[in-house]
Structure 1
Amino acid sequence: MHSNSTSGSRINFDSFFSTLPLKALVLTSALMPFHSINATKTNQYNTVVNTNTLTVVAVSSPTIVFKEGQYQHGFGYDLAQDYAQSLNVKLNFKTVPDNAAALKMVAQGKVNFAITTATFDRIEAKKLSSFSATCGDLNSLQKNGLNPEINWVFKRADDPLTETASGFICQSKQNGSIQQLASFYNRNVVKQNDWNVIQRDLKQRLPIYQASFKKTAKQYDMDWHLLAAIGYQESYLKPDSVSPTGVRGLMMLTNATARAMGVSNRTDPTQSIQGGAKYFNQMLNRYAYIQNPDRHWYALIAYNMGPGAVDAIQKRLKSQGKNPNDWINMYEFLSNNQARNGRYKQAVQYVTRIRSYLEHIKNTPTLMTI
């Protein structure tokens, strides 16, 4: 992997741009000369600014992007989303079957850049430019079971968009965003030996409740796979589950929450799924001002810890000068403070495991009855 350089003209901008604050990166690129590019000639940076849209293409994979209902998430997707935010533009994220198709779209100028695992030789053969999607921080991906050989591929090395993107990636490495994203999308969060038990449980129990998950999810415009993942994390899909603190049922509702959601019998699986979905939908609505997929993660930790705890952390983040509505900041706070607060540790495990279960259920067709 050619971690800190671009192919083609082999220009290295990372050492300069990685020292700049994120906002300065965008401003600098707007003021800098366009090198060999004529100011009136079309370039990807101008296209992004003029259309207010960053168009990115990638191949779906556990490391890059994973679709949950109508929403996408994943290490590669979230990183591209953060870059789009730094440019103050919208992200238009496309997926294609393979790296060859992604590289072709870049070469034809149909997208601003691609996120691929293509080899340097294949990229160079297309006369395209690339750099590591982690600014060379391969270890953060490797230790979390992610593919370290991912790169961002651009049409030209001397396009301002390529330059600001390279700087953004290395800034993300410096400020810890790369490490936090990789940690959240950790594919080792569930031990390999445990997947055999999980697979057995899901195969036995999911078909029994699948119809209820689907019907309820449709009512609240949710992905039923996500509801099922929440149910498995809460009770292993056992409707008679009871915790030491008194929460009960398939979706493990407290007595107060059950009453508020109109559930009269917490051990009735249909009622429990309905009550859990209604409560999760309330959490989604509470954080409607946060963009997806971050909104889902906020709603999940609120489902687990209670919205009051989430609000308190948001206030702490804001007082520290950090964006309280950015999942990376929220996740970093929970992770860094989990040793001193058991609730934070539980929340980290809760949301990362649900994300893992969601991906597993979504990608295992043999679990489905229809």
Structure 2
Amino acid sequence: MHSSSTPGSRLCLNSNKLSLSLKALALTSLIFPFHAINASKATYQFDNVVNQNKLTVVSVANPSAVFEDGDYFHGFGYDLVRNYANNLNVQLEFKTVDDNATALKMVATGKANFAMTTANTQTIETKKLTSLPATCGDLNSLEKNGLNTELNWVFKHADDPLTQAASGFICKSKQNGSLNQLASFYNRNVVKEEFWDDIQSDLSKRMPIYKASFKKTAQQYDLDWHLLAAIGYQESYLKPTSVSPTGVRGLMMLTNSTAKAMGVNDRSNATQSIQGGAKYYDLMLSRYDDIPFPDRNWYALAAYNMGPGTVNQIQKRIKAQGKNPNNWVNFYAYLDRNKASNGQYRQAVQYVTRIRAYLEHIKTTPQLVNI
């Protein structure tokens, strides 16, 4: 079992204030009326969240729910849960288990406040648990992006205020468009199915040549080598002799000025290129150290592609709209909304989403990991 705590979300509301805010949100839900709450309220997970200022969620790792990315998690389901914890202003403790049965048992025994599963309704009801669809009925958002439409949140009690608050949060996310944008970013179809055989062939042939350099360099900068390899594949298909029409060259496709700044003398030297690319990516990460992972990775990749100046300009525009400029869904939504009229934005959307897809492929393909 693996677990991770989301930093920066553990302060602020005291128990009474959190209790009132959750109840207010729950009252907006017509699904579970409060008159159903009975004398056993003390057994509800709501009380545990309030008293411990911590939301414990368990999930099975799968393409629609969560990927383990180094010391962090990412994925449609994980980000939705993370946003819910932030909405409650509590710390998130997120755990992964091997199967749905284990996840459901943890909810039934009170070891988790709720579970994210793809278990069917009959199985959940047999365990005397209750589930909410992770879409508020908007199955199209998941289906069109190749995500599992059976993804659900499972709670111990239907009339628990925590369940009611979750229902309200999910439906609000649907209404304000953030759920659809989250699904769009985690699109499983961002790389067409017919291309994966060629991608797998490329990686199988070239990864063994450069894996040692990726791993050594990643360790030096405390990065995930799989991510460096995914950047390299997006940049050059892992070909150190690659050259673009604009003069960008090498395995990590560095400009001449960036290469010099990173101490790279020969951009066609694969080892030097990987070293320079990692150093530059690490520099981009440091620019966004006030943004928690995994979002920090996506911002750094956007900056690697567009330049940090462009990223900063977009953040200012998002802030001027009254939105959080350090929230990746807001940033991605801005790029996605304007990509038709701005080629640089369109390229950035493609760049970040494809690297995410390659990262997930490399991490979950045994023959690549074990090369």
Per the normalisation by structure 2, the TM-score is 0.91
CA distance in 2, matches of 1:94, 1:34: 33
Aligned to 1:17: none
Tell me how far 1:241 sits from its aligned partner: 0.6
Structure-1 residue corresponding to 2:7: none
Tell me by how many angstroms 1:246 deviates.
Answer: 1.2
Q: What is the CA–CA distance in structure 2 between the aligned matches of 1:368 and 1:329, rounded to whole Å?
A: 33
The alignment status of 1:252 with 2:253, answered yes or no, reads yes
Q: Is structure 2 residue 29 aligned with structure 1 residue 28?
A: no
Structure 1 pair 40–105 and aligned structure 2 pair: CA distance change class (3 A): closer
1:300 partner letter: L
Which of the pair has the greater relative contact order for Cα pairs under 8 Å at 6+ separation?
1
Question: Contact 2:26 / 2:165 at 8 angstroms: preserved in 1?
Answer: no
User: Aligned partners of 1:349 and 1:25: how far apart in 2?
Assistant: 39
Q: Percent identity?
A: 68
C-alpha root-mean-square deviation of aligned residues, in Å?
A: 1.8
* Cα distance in 2 for residues equivalent to 1:161 and 1:223: 35
Give the TM-score, by structure 1 length: 0.91
Q: What's the counterpart of residue 85 of structure 1?
A: 86
CA contact (8 A) 2:57 2:93 kept: yes
Deviation at 1:44, TM superposition (A): 1.3
Distance 1:273 1:34, change over 3 A: farther
Q: Deviations over 1:315-348 (max 9, x none)?
A: 0010000010000000000000000100000000
The AA in structure 2 aligned to 1:345 is: R
Give the equivalent residue in structure 1 for 2:235.
234
Q: Could you tell me how far apart the structure 2 residues matched to 1:29 and 1:200 are?
A: 51
In structure 1, how many angstroms separate the alpha carbons of the residues matched to 2:101 and 2:313?
47
Deviation at 1:204, TM superposition (A): 0.8
1:26, distance to aligned residue in structure 2 (A): 3.4
Which residue type is aligned with residue 28 of structure 1? A
> Which residue of structure 2 aligns with residue 46 of structure 1?
47
Residue identity opposite 1:247 in structure 2? V
Distance (Å, rounded) in 2 between the aligned partners of 1:40 and 1:140: 35
Are the equivalent residues in 2 in contact too, given 1:34–1:160 (CA < 8 A)? no
Q: Name the SS of the counterpart of 2:68 in structure 1.
A: strand
Matches within 5 A, 1:124-143: 124-143=125-144
Equivalent residue, structure 1, for 2:216: 215
SS of equivalent residue, structure 2 residue 42: coil
Q: What displacement does 1:91 show?
A: 1.1
Indicate if the aligned counterparts of 2:131 and 2:152 stay in contact, CA closer than 8 A. yes
SS of equivalent residue, structure 1 residue 110: coil
Mapped to 2, the partners of 1:328 and 1:235 lie a distance apart of 27
- Deviation of 1:364 after TM superposition, in Å, equals 1.1
Q: How far apart in 2 are the matches of 1:236 and 1:40?
A: 57
Name the residue aligned to 1:362.
363
Aligned to 1:70: 71
Residue 68 of structure 1 and its aligned partner are, at CA, apart by 1.1
Question: 2:112 — aligned with what?
Answer: 111
- What is the correspondence of 1:184-195 to structure 2 with a 5 Å cutoff? 184-195=185-196
Structure 1 distance, partners of 2:247, 2:350, is 20
**Deviation string, structure 1 residues 92-131 (Cα, Å, up to 9, x no partner):** 1111111111111000011000011111111111111111
Structure 1 position 56 matched with structure 2 position 52: no
- For 2:54 and 2:35, the matched residues in 1 are separated by 20
Alpha-carbon distance, 1:53 to partner: 1.2
CA positional deviation for 1:244: 1.1
| SS of 1:215 mapped into structure 2 | helix
Determine the C-alpha separation between the residues in 2 that align with 1:44 and 1:308.
Answer: 45
1:323 equivalent to 2:319? Answer no
Letter in 2 for 1:249: G
Q: Could you report, residue by residue, the CA deviation over 1:212-247 in whole angstroms, capped at 9, with x for unpaired residues?
A: 000000011111000000000000000011111111
CA distance in 2, matches of 1:223, 1:306: 21
Judge conservation of contact 2:236–2:253 (CA < 8 Å) in 1.
yes
Contact 1:229 1:354 in 2 (8 A): yes
Contact 2:64 2:147 survives alignment (8 Å): yes
* Paired AA for residue 306 in structure 2: M
Alpha-carbon contact 2:363-2:369 (below 8 Å) kept: no
Amino acid at match of 2:63: P
* Native 8 Å contact 1:238 1:249 kept in 2: yes
Q: Which amino acid aligns with 1:320?
A: Q
Cα deviation code 1:142-186 (max 9, x no counterpart): 111111011110000111100000000000000111111111111
| Equivalent residues of 1:107, 1:128 under 8 A apart | yes
Q: Deviations over 1:251-309 (max 9, x none)?
A: 00111111111111111000000000001001111101001100100000000000011
Q: Distance in 2 between matches of 1:25 and 1:186?
A: 33
C-alpha contact 2:26 2:168 (8 A) present in aligned 1: no
Equivalent residue, structure 1, for 2:270: 269
Whichever residue aligns with residue 318 of structure 1, its letter is K
What is the Cα deviation at residue 39 of structure 1? 8.5
In 2: Cα distance, 1:149 partner to 1:358 partner: 24
**Distance in 1, Cα, partners of 2:21 & 2:245:** 52
List structure 1 runs of 4+ shifted beyond 3 angstroms.
24-27, 29-35, 37-40
Residue 164 of structure 2: SS of its match in structure 1?
helix
Write the letter of the residue equivalent to 1:290.
Answer: I
1:38 Cα deviation from its structure 2 partner: 3.8
Equivalent pair of 1:34/1:159 in contact (CA under 8 Å) = no
